[in-house]
Structure 1
């Protein structure tokens, strides 16, 4: 008798940003698109209700803190401003409590950079949101990538890549100390007879003194339902993978095919195991933009209709910000397979394998490719064909779910709900109900009731001051204990060896596939 391995139940998020178009520049012009309503809180409440009714796990909210100013640059924001390419863009955390008030189980992963905000301040903002959402907040940890943001926030261009990750490593430790270690679980007494609101002996300073931060503490908020929000991450450079393997509970990946991301996923899982973590506990979420029709012909016609609204300059502005490459330097009809840039040649080679019918790759061809779904994978077809493609990603790359990018909003999500989810459910690939209705984001991502705080093998758990534990016995991990898989510094200043340039979701590759 043979037994088959049970299929993974997919984790699904809607991928959005508080701007128009997001990954599909120019599509805000489509008569059915509503993404330009992003300033209206009712727009977000309607979206949250739509997704919760369909049992999506969460809303993954992207963010940038500056404009895309590489194309036709330097420091030229005009193409992004004119086309609405992630400009204007609002602050993402502000709308989360309103969406949470209209839902009970939907999670909210919010992108916030470590480079520009003090950890003491961010710890309070995230704890507050976790309280108000009853434990449904996640933090997508990024280090930033736009010089336009850095110039406004720190008065100069970005710190170098390895310095940003060194800062992020210390930053996350400060956050663990504030969230997990400065309050005992039972510190809040609310004892009306004794008049003790919080027992002061059960709140302590963290007294962090490091290379980048000095934070005496204690945390100004009492422990929230999750204590530490669900930790998400997207970098897949050498430094990004090391960071993910230690800290991430979910990793956002993107590429034109499963083969692009499979190696990174395998390496992160292996490093996590070396760090004493269960490698299967890290959930990998791949970017995909599905264009669905009841027939292949209907799906293709829908794609062609969408494609006519794409903005070429907006796409090239996004490409410049994502890659640091200004394609304005190349002639309109220049074949990009033969340019001197290794990065461009590599990208075009990946696209050409996925879309062999394209005879000549020019900057216009690249821009057209980006206008629907950005630099992630775009799949066109029937529900059966798209479901087959999702299963291929799970099988070949070991992903655990998908971030659904939209072409039009909410139309793309409505098509997924009406057409794709019934097919996924018929295959046993997607939940009929939340694993823990009304549960925390972590419980529903992991599918484990009661697992509200980081799991015992996660580094944050080493800081947890549990109820009943005397202060003298409460854990205070040493740096050596925390850095079980860290490399030794290359020199005496505490910095690590030079790291590879970051390759995160913005450097993914796009394919258009009709099955």
Structure 2
């Protein structure tokens, strides 16, 4: 039986400090070049050399102002501030690569679906089908205030709105233009056949639309769909819509249980258990010898900022940890931040303290960190895959691009020698690379497929 091949995305953001805060101060780190297009095209070329499945770009529309009720520390430490638009990077990176995919975070809470649908269809055309969308509903009150909302919607209402948002997008991406609508017939002077292009009318609680999708069908029609919700409502949403799910695990046992919940939820929605690929955020520090790897870890740690990581986590949970003493137990606070993270910190356990969080954030972030030789790292990666049911990892940057180059030069060959990692890219779209040839579009059992013209007609007349 062939060994399961693990998947890798590079996990980054169009900013200086992403997950592992403070490391932008390391003398070999190039994160402050994020404003230069060459920084991103060189990174894309490096990742394609390493056969990474994609570059997953996070994003936020607000600021992290919960810790100390201020943006002073985020500004000093560049805690995802400043931050530029991730979508602007894709065309240039696609131009210098042939296979690398792009997972793009975009917040659906503050943009109308009609222009949004065009933006992603355009990118899917320009990349020849290598675009994915990480669906987020937002969790920062600072974003709502900046956009004139006062406060963001309550957690479950954000998902109500997201469900309708996706319905509108599916109608545009899947239902407006039939297959074969485009002829591009010069002699007959017919580019598109009018009877195969459909007007979309939608009257819902949150959105009203009357119009045609402005783009002809792109290679994937609907971009590959990512989602990262772990609350009960978020899991249900992911089970209906996601094709890739991003989790943040702290142990193999808890990660295994979460993966099992995700797959069971897919089955409940009428999809196969393996309908989604599950990725976990991870840090890797690797060197030819264990002593060198430990030295590199110690070197990185000297530049990291645990307090900056704590400030980031304050906004993730909506809890101002500056109000707590170092050894005071952190209490549950009902708020509109990321519900699953708040509960895992304060409900699943009752002994968490700021001191413990700072110790976890020795490298400026909370992700699991593997440190060792290529053999040791590969052993750990295989154990995580075998014991949790994960499909792969979102590999964070520590010192950029050094962290990715080390992984590509040292760990990738070791995984390939074990048959645990591909030696060449598959052809086709991003969806086909992950799910197999002939799967360029959403599968028939996906919620979006019901809005295709044939299925819609059956619903109307059946």
TM-score range, shorter chain: over 0.9
1:69 paired with 2:65, answer: yes
In 2, are the aligned partners of 1:67 and 1:77 still within 8 Å (CA)? yes
Give CA-to-partner distance per residue, 1:156-192, whole Å, 9 cap, x none.
Answer: 1211001000000011111110000011111112222
1:92 paired with 2:83, answer: no
- Which residue pairs with 1:35 in the alignment? 31
Q: From the superposition, tell whether residues 253 and 198 of structure 1 become closer, same or farther in structure 2 (CA, over 3 Å).
A: same
Give CA-to-partner distance per residue, 1:252-310, whole Å, 9 cap, x none.
Answer: 01111122222222122112122221211210011100111222221111111101111
1:475 paired with 2:442, answer: no
**Superposed, which structure 2 residues align to 1:88-487 within 5 Å?**
88-331=82-325, 334-336=326-328, 338-341=329-332, 347=345, 363=354, 366-370=357-361, 372=363, 374-436=365-427, 439-446=428-435, 448-465=436-453, 473=454, 475-476=456-457
Give CA-to-partner distance per residue, 1:419-471, whole Å, 9 cap, x none.
Answer: 111111111110000122xx21111111x122111122222222234xxxxxx
Give secondary structure in 2 for the equivalent of 1:207.
strand
The farther-off stretch of 291-300 and 234-243 is 291-300
The farther-off stretch of 142-151 and 450-459 is 450-459
Report the alpha carbon displacement of residue 399 of structure 1 after superposing the two structures with TM: 0.3
Distance in 2 (CA, whole Å) between partners of 1:345 and 1:245 is 21
1:56 paired with 2:52, answer: yes
In 2, are the aligned partners of 1:383 and 1:419 still within 8 Å (CA)? yes
Q: From the superposition, tell whether residues 87 and 190 of structure 1 become closer, same or farther in structure 2 (CA, over 3 Å).
A: same
In 2, are the aligned partners of 1:21 and 1:407 still within 8 Å (CA)? no
Distance in 1 (CA, whole Å) between partners of 2:377 and 2:347 is 24
Query: Number of paired residues?
Result: 454
Q: From the superposition, tell whether residues 373 and 351 of structure 1 become closer, same or farther in structure 2 (CA, over 3 Å).
A: farther
What TM-score results when the alignment is normalised by the length of structure 2?
0.93
What TM-score results when the alignment is normalised by the length of structure 1?
0.84
Point out where structure 2 has 5 or more consecutive residues left out of the alignment. Answer: 334-340
Give secondary structure in 2 for the equivalent of 1:407.
coil
- Which residue pairs with 1:45 in the alignment? 41
CA RMSD of aligned residues (A): 2.3
Report the alpha carbon displacement of residue 311 of structure 1 after superposing the two structures with TM: 2.2
Report the alpha carbon displacement of residue 319 of structure 1 after superposing the two structures with TM: 1.3
Distance in 2 (CA, whole Å) between partners of 1:153 and 1:344 is 25
The farther-off stretch of 414-423 and 150-159 is 150-159
Report the alpha carbon displacement of residue 363 of structure 1 after superposing the two structures with TM: 3.1
Point out where structure 1 has 5 or more consecutive residues left out of the alignment. Answer: 353-359, 466-472, 482-515
Distance in 2 (CA, whole Å) between partners of 1:258 and 1:476 is 46
1:15 paired with 2:14, answer: no
Distance in 2 (CA, whole Å) between partners of 1:340 and 1:99 is 44
Distance in 1 (CA, whole Å) between partners of 2:187 and 2:283 is 58
In 2, are the aligned partners of 1:80 and 1:313 still within 8 Å (CA)? no
Distance in 1 (CA, whole Å) between partners of 2:426 and 2:91 is 22
In 2, are the aligned partners of 1:182 and 1:217 still within 8 Å (CA)? no
In 2, are the aligned partners of 1:109 and 1:140 still within 8 Å (CA)? yes
